[in-house]
Amino acid sequence: MQETASRRDFLAVSGTTLGGAWLALHLPAVQAAAAYARRAAAGRVPFSILTPEEARELDAVAAQIIPTDDTPGAREAGVVYFMDQALGSFGAQFLGPIRAGLLDLLKAAQARQPSAPAFSALGFADQTDVLRGLEKTPFFGMVRFLTVAGMLGDPSYGGNQDRIGWKLIQYNGGHAQLPPFGCYDANYHRQ
């Protein structure tokens, strides 16, 4: 149970850091990517930017960043579809570095297990160890950002599938909490 709480804390903090400011500046493009991700995940639409192999590897990395345990993770939220759309729009500048990072990821996976055809073919524990070695790289930072953005996207704009990310951090979707109308101004109207 403690592991889930720390993951929630990580996601809550991640959503309020510098990435939040960047998201605000690029909100229309992020919303469009999230809408595409929702449609793609629902209909298993082919990827438009990523190859199936790249998508499989990024999905495996995202599933390590926000794993499935007693709650759904990045895989169930369709984060890889968000990544595909993002890399073809507002995040296009990340595509080259992410593709280069995927090659480094394969090398690291094969250093861990020489017979492994891909990172996604490793077991969960081996994947975790490989990613620990890449945690401070720009590749991992970009993939982590796209994972969190895809996980916490606003569902009204096609964000996270079935509000999985919001349920994970116990967010109800309200932008502001207001008292019920009439409660705070009742005395004013009686005069």
User: For residue range 52-86, what is the model confidence (pLDDT) as tens digits?
Assistant: 999 999 999 999 999 998 888 899 888 898 899 88
pTM, 2 dp:
0.70
Tell me: the pLDDT tens digits for 19-49?
Answer: 555 556 666 666 666 666 666 666 566 788 9
Distances (CA, A) of 127 to 58, 106, 132, 155, 157: 12, 11, 9, 30, 32
Return the DSSP state at 152. Answer: S
Distance CA 19, CA 90 (A): 14
Task: Please give the Cα distance from 30 to 35 (Å, whole number).
Answer: 9
Dihedral sign of CA atoms 49, 54, 58, 60 in order = positive
What pLDDT does 136 receive?
Answer: 95
Percent of the residues in the chain that have a pLDDT greater than 90, as a whole number: 40
CA 16, 26, 54: angle at the middle one, nearest 5? 90
Distances (CA, A) of 12 to 6, 8, 17: 10, 6, 9
pLDDT band of residue 129 (cuts 50, 70, 90) is very high
